[in-house]
Structure 1
Amino acid sequence: MLKKHKKMMLLTLAASLSVTSLVACSSKSTDSGSSATPNSTASAAPASAGPKPELKSLQVWQQEDYNTYPVAKFLEEKTGYKVKYDMMPQDKPTDKLNILIASGEPYDAITTNGTADFKALYADYAKKGALTDLGPLIDKYGPNIKAAIDPNALEAAKVDGKLYAIPTKTLPSAGESLYIRQDWLDKVGMKAPTTLDELVAVLKAFKEKDPGGNGDKNIPLTIRGEAMFINNIVGAFGISTFWNDVNGKLTPRVLDPAYKDYVTFAADLFKQGLLDKEFAANKDATAKEKFTSGRAGMIMLHWADVPVIADALAKNIPTAKANFIPALKGKDGKAGLTAPSGFDRITFIPKASKHPEDAIKWMNAKLEKETFKTMAIGEENKHYTFKDGAYTPIQPIFTDERNRANNFLMGTDDTNYPTYWQARVRKDMRLFDAWNFMNTIQPANTRIKDPLGFAPYLPEFTKNFQQLNTMVGDYTTKLIFGAEPLSGLDAFIAKFKSSGGDVSFKEVNDWYATVKK
């Protein structure tokens, strides 16, 4: 993974140099790309004069063709803009994006994922002068953008004080937790665990009483290999996310005193045979097969996977039943289910765009309240029904015509979209019940958001995060597996700090000191 990361950084560097050369040598292109600023001569002309130009948009990868998807036709009718959609490849999208930016491909809007690698590229492009400053354009042509999008999200999307992208916020829903065979619990005469001690007792009962009749193939708990921080369990130690507040400072897990307690607990599960002895080699599909085949009694699972897992389990074992367990409490009462925070998507306009004003007008038109709602979930009594404050999809047309609507978003109606969005989890009531249990029934304080979700671009943190994350993950796996002694933790911490941990800690907390209340 580290080699892959280094390769990506080299590609990013090479492309960044190309971007720098492009911006420096193509002043005519740069000037035309920024002609929408209020002080420019071009912006003084009425933007509505003449027919609207066809826009060119680059999107994230999806299975269907954007151009023929029903949402595209709807948006063309409502906004008046015809758009030619391209999409990035599923594999190595950052490489493709670097090439397109460096070559000056005249896209009018580019939407990427909001993950750390794309945020880093976005900030780099902005610093190199390859993107259009959207502030003046939004002031002039974006009243819906200003009204709909959370001001905190807009602020977090700025680079060096200027806004170069429209952020689409991620929804802070808890995703993964521990999914357990209820029929196994019934057979051993126990209830779903609510504490770490109860969890251990249940897993011991699964091992010793073998309710699945698997003999020596019995697995009390299985996880995928890269999930060494087991969601729900890790929350009981107060380290749900990579960075957590410790005495007023954002602190990486490995520097948190609770880290040692967590790895000791997880290693003990492994030693007792309660955690899958093959977990380090498990792919996601491997762990799921062990659960759906009836060999494992518990798995770390995302609620979005419940229908598929439930169908496979029912096919293999018709009498099987399974549910998510509550957020487990640790010895000090801590509990937590990791919830994302920050950007799901970011949309920017490259300087090479031929129509920056129209691109902003198009995005603004998409955020008109009724247009946005219809784009996101369709028409009432055609795509959904509305009753008692809940949006329920009408199938199969909702899935056929709105399942990919989220990929057309360029900012959301942040007040209403979280409610509209719930139509998606009502496509299958098993899906809704799983999501609802984790995000409504469980106490609100158990959903722990990433505290860095809305942090601005932090160059040292961004540069070092992937490497540090990989280091900690690999080391944690070795500790749990027994391949490294816990006595070596101090030496590892020293290596972590010297590999970018110290400078990242300072940068993160310099920012954190300005925002914490």
Structure 2
Amino acid sequence: MLKKNKKMLLVSLTACLSASSLVACSSGGTSSSSSTSAPGSSTASSSVPTAAAVKPELKSLQIWQKDDYNTYPVATYLEKATGYKVQYDMLPQDKPQDKLNILIASGEAYDAVTISGTTDFKALYSDYAKKGALVDLGPLIDKYGPNIKAVIDPEALEAAKVDGKLYAIPTKSTKTVNTDLYIRQDWLDKVGLKMPTTLDELVTVLKAFKEKDPGGNGEGNIPLTVGGDSSFIPNIVGAFGMPNFWNDVNGKLTPRVLDPAFKDYAAFVADLFKQGLIDKEFAANKAAATKEKFTSGKAGILMMNWSDVPTIADALTKNIPTAKATFIPAVKGKDGKTGLSASKGFDRITFIPKASKHPEDAIKWMNAKLEKDTFRTMAIGEENKHYTLKDGAYSPIQPIFTDERNQANNFLTGTDDKNYPIYWQARVRKDMRLYDAWNSLNGLAPEPTKVTDLLGYAPYMVEFSKNFQTLNTQSNDYTTKLIFGAEPFTGIDAFIAKFKSSGGDASYKEVNDWYATVKK
């Protein structure tokens, strides 16, 4: 009989811990703070707060960061500002999805869980919601979340829904153009040319960089260096109307290799390579190799993220003190097409597991963090201590800004979406070269040249998510081979057929079934 009871207990525990069950086995999973009594409250004097007035300590699971959340200055500030003491735990840096699955399946009583907004984590969030492991936040926000409703972009809240219900608070990514072509301005000056504004002018610049030797490298001059995993070159690919992996073609979201412009783009870049205008080693290049070629003075144009500007600029001027470099504005193709990819989506999302002991207080806490002054202080600190404000621009005071607010973004559970993009600029003003780089691609660039990724707010989609990485790799590898001459252009139709049968058709249908419901 004892063996039988042990066996039954083991089966029960296994079922409760199973990742497939997801729903917490805890019987207290939906209780709120109002039903929690304080020890000894029956004998407490009238001067002692009642149990209902005492805010419970919350338990929050966060994205990994290098600093301890519990001792970081933002945690101390938020406790004073919201009245909630929070115990912060972190997901591991390696394989965080595995740890998250275990914690959700075992019914660990977290009151808030914040995860990345990437496709793999969005898949987990959707799965948890569909299997009943998360609290429906709609009724709680209606009752306790006026700030959440007032300051978070309604489109973002809608995009975070699963089967019509909101199970998470989204923290939007700041819409940003991240990558472009970075050019040696002093090389341009030496060859007597202006900044290119069209594809034809860009080709003229590349030819001058090769033939007039502005770098003093002789035949070793490299007009344009890119990596082997970057066959779709930013700015150039935008001039063919394909700045993003999927673009609107006649009302349908279409991956690049299925876009009618794909053949023209591939042929154009292949011709650049054939003329020696693109790094002959590009197929084997890693990012580090392209940066070394640029900073050592061998290459005139580099594909680069604006956040790398200070590092690249320091290395370049160390080797060549007179060097100057800047980003090339979006160039136009022969039919006027132009564009640089602008990110859109969720930086992170925060949900409340069913195992939470305090779901109402978790929403109250997140709502309190979005009160205007509280949010600003959480994000960038105190005026004249962490930042200065002049003519509407927030500038950091160093080193205290970096010491006490560098990790502040990891405490976000939703943002004041109207004001945060303005506050956020304090982060890039930590180094004015960084700000100038960001501003050249974003603040100063004409709005039509910043082409938003239309899949940024897409919900989790099974076929798309399953096939995206494989299709992306297939597209990039094949395009590299076309450019390099390892594949003939006569084989494009055969490749497209393979792409479609490898998940391309299924992804296309799923994506456009969704797109038809949201496009304006």
Q: Could you say whether these structures have the same fold, taking a TM-score greater than 0.5 normalized by the shorter chain as the test?
A: yes
Alignment counterpart, residue 509 of structure 2, candidates 503, 506, 509: 506
Partner of 1:21: 21
Alignment counterpart, residue 367 of structure 1, candidates 367, 370, 375: 370
1:425-465 Cα offsets, whole Å, 9 max, x none, are: 22222112111111122210000001111122322222222
Partner of 1:32: 28
Looking at structure 2, the residues matched to 491 and 289 of structure 1 have their Cα atoms a distance apart, in angstroms, of 37
Alignment counterpart, residue 388 of structure 2, candidates 373, 385, 392: 385
Deviation at 1:83, TM superposition (A): 1.7
Residues 147 and 370, structure 2, Cα contact 8 Å, conserved in 1: yes
The verdict on how the C-alpha distance between 1:403 and 1:171 changes in structure 2, with shifts beyond 3 A counting, is: same
1:192 aligns to 2:163 (yes or no)? no
Partner of 1:441: 444
The verdict on how the C-alpha distance between 1:417 and 1:289 changes in structure 2, with shifts beyond 3 A counting, is: same
The verdict on how the C-alpha distance between 1:277 and 1:342 changes in structure 2, with shifts beyond 3 A counting, is: same
Residues 171 and 347, structure 2, Cα contact 8 Å, conserved in 1: yes
Q: How many residues align?
A: 496
Alignment counterpart, residue 107 of structure 2, candidates 84, 104, 109: 104
Contiguous gaps of at least 5 residues in structure 2:
1-14, 39-48
1:115 aligns to 2:115 (yes or no)? no
The verdict on how the C-alpha distance between 1:211 and 1:131 changes in structure 2, with shifts beyond 3 A counting, is: same
Alignment counterpart, residue 309 of structure 2, candidates 306, 311, 320: 306
Partner of 1:290: 293
1:481 aligns to 2:484 (yes or no)? yes
Partner of 1:218: 221
The verdict on how the C-alpha distance between 1:72 and 1:376 changes in structure 2, with shifts beyond 3 A counting, is: same
Deviation at 1:16, TM superposition (A): 13
Deviation at 1:139, TM superposition (A): 1.6
Partner of 1:86: 89
Deviation at 1:504, TM superposition (A): 1.7
Amino acid at match of 1:471: Q
RMSD value over aligned CA atoms? Answer: 2.3
Looking at structure 1, the residues matched to 50 and 111 of structure 2 have their Cα atoms a distance apart, in angstroms, of 15
1:71 aligns to 2:71 (yes or no)? no
Deviation at 1:355, TM superposition (A): 2.2
Amino acid at match of 2:20: T
Partner of 1:8: none
Partner of 1:328: 331
Partner of 2:180: 177
Residues 16 and 125, structure 1, Cα contact 8 Å, conserved in 2: no
Larger mean Cα displacement after TM superposition, 469-478 or 373-382:
469-478
Larger mean Cα displacement after TM superposition, 131-140 or 306-315:
131-140
The verdict on how the C-alpha distance between 1:480 and 1:33 changes in structure 2, with shifts beyond 3 A counting, is: farther
Residues 19 and 125, structure 1, Cα contact 8 Å, conserved in 2: no
Amino acid at match of 1:442: A
Residues 16 and 124, structure 1, Cα contact 8 Å, conserved in 2: no
Looking at structure 1, the residues matched to 115 and 283 of structure 2 have their Cα atoms a distance apart, in angstroms, of 31
Looking at structure 2, the residues matched to 391 and 288 of structure 1 have their Cα atoms a distance apart, in angstroms, of 31
1:472 aligns to 2:472 (yes or no)? no
Residues 341 and 451, structure 2, Cα contact 8 Å, conserved in 1: yes
State the secondary structure of the residue aligned to 1:56. Answer: strand
1:3-45 Cα offsets, whole Å, 9 max, x none, are: xxxxxxxxxxxx999333353xx54x2x5323459xxx959x9
Residues 30 and 357, structure 2, Cα contact 8 Å, conserved in 1: no
Larger mean Cα displacement after TM superposition, 374-383 or 50-59:
50-59
Partner of 2:278: 275
Residues 20 and 129, structure 1, Cα contact 8 Å, conserved in 2: no
State the secondary structure of the residue aligned to 2:97. Answer: helix
Pairwise mapping of residues 375-454 of structure 1 onto structure 2 (< 5 A)?
375-454=378-457
Looking at structure 2, the residues matched to 300 and 47 of structure 1 have their Cα atoms a distance apart, in angstroms, of 62
Looking at structure 2, the residues matched to 114 and 16 of structure 1 have their Cα atoms a distance apart, in angstroms, of 27
Looking at structure 2, the residues matched to 203 and 215 of structure 1 have their Cα atoms a distance apart, in angstroms, of 15
**TM-score scaled by length of structure 2:** 0.91
Rg: which structure is higher? 2
Contiguous gaps of at least 5 residues in structure 1:
1-14
The verdict on how the C-alpha distance between 1:60 and 1:224 changes in structure 2, with shifts beyond 3 A counting, is: farther
Looking at structure 2, the residues matched to 22 and 212 of structure 1 have their Cα atoms a distance apart, in angstroms, of 60
Residues 19 and 128, structure 1, Cα contact 8 Å, conserved in 2: no
